[in-house]
A = this chain, B = another copy of it.
Amino acid sequence: MKTALDCIPCLVRQSLEAARRVTAEPAAQERILREVLGWTAAMDLCAPPPLLAQRIHRHLRRIGGGTDPYQTVKAAHNRLAAGLMPELRRRMTAAPDPLYLALRLAIAGNAIDLGAPVETDDKAVRAALANALEDPFAGDMEDFRRAVARGGRILYLADNAGEIFFDRLLVEQLAPAQVTMAVRGAPVLNDATLTDAREAGIEAVAEVIQNGSDAPGTILDDCSAPFRHCFATADLIIAKGQGNFETLSDTCGPIYFLFKVKCPVIAEHAGFAIGTHVLAGAAVAPKPPPNCAIDTEKDAHERP
């Protein structure tokens, strides 16, 4: 999807929050904010919001000497999620429909998002998980169930640290399909990387790969060739979170988007109210680009 005008104030706010994680020095925070405003004034709104976010966060990491300003908060989110797992596993064991519960818990875990204008404190995250089945849900569960039952190779695009623990519950329900989980190729915002996948024990239940990109979403042109090959040949793609939806919603393919609607722009683009748990299949993915034919879509992603 394109960057909406409403994304701009939100990106500026996010940049200020990020600048404060990089430096405690107000003058340095101001310099970063002014640079971001300058870029934003000239940005290409045809690109999805994660492209500007990628640029901002790259710059912030450069200023911070390569250290990840989100490392501490990501570790805290992983600890929080790990602490919630025993209770969630109990719920899974007792669930009449484990695939459905796992799906809802994975979407509820999408509450952990430092990019969106939402509360992400421990209390909010605990409440999101506890109420996972009460939040409004939009999606064709039976269609998803059939797609999963066909088996084959499933590519699961992870979203955030912490959240990735709950993704594991869903991955475990996708057997007998062979699951590959892709994480970002480098730290950006609080997005999950290889370290987080390992902490969540994903390697015990799926192959884990990096997508080769440091965008907080999946910008195919920016991803590695091995990742793109995996994307183009998967039988089913599960794309988690708003960032992956923003960057892939115009891409043709056997994609299911799983996310919680957290801002008015996504609400309008996806067609669901804020707070909704969305399971949006390929049929719901709006506006395929012109000349995007179903039978050539895989080749289309195989750009060098």
Known: A8-B33, A34-B42, A38-B38. 15 other contacts (CB 8 A): A5-B29, A5-B30, A5-B33, A6-B16, A8-B12, A8-B16, A8-B37, A9-B9, A30-B45, A34-B41, A37-B37, A37-B38, A37-B40, A38-B41, A41-B41
Q: Does A26 lie at the interface of the complex (its beta carbon under 8 Å from any beta carbon of B)? A: yes
Report the bound CA distance from A5 to B27 in whole Å. Answer: 10
Interface residues on A, range: 20 to 34
**A296: min CB distance to chain B, Å:** 32
Q: At the interface, is chain A mostly helix, strand, loop or mixed? A: helix
- Check if A13 is an interface residue, CB within 8 A of chain B: yes
A36 to chain B, nearest CB (A): 8
Tell me, in angstroms, the Cα distance from A9 to B33 when the chains sit together.
Answer: 10
B-contacting residues, A25-77, CB 8 Å: 26, 29-30, 33-35, 37-38, 40-42, 45
The answer, among B9, B30, B34, B45, for a CB contact under 8 Å with A12, is B9
Say whether A9 contacts B5, CB under 8 Å. Answer: no
Q: Which residue of A5, A9, A26, A42 has the most chain B CB atoms within 10 A of its CB atom?
A: A9
| B residues in contact with A35, CB < 8 Å | 41
Q: Looking across the interface, which residue of chain B has its beta carbon closest to that of A34?
A: B41
What are 22 of the A-B contact pairs (CB < 8 Å)?
A5-B16, A5-B30, A6-B16, A8-B12, A8-B16, A8-B33, A8-B37, A9-B9, A9-B10, A9-B12, A9-B13, A9-B16, A12-B12, A34-B41, A34-B42, A35-B41, A37-B37, A37-B38, A37-B40, A37-B41, A38-B41, A41-B41
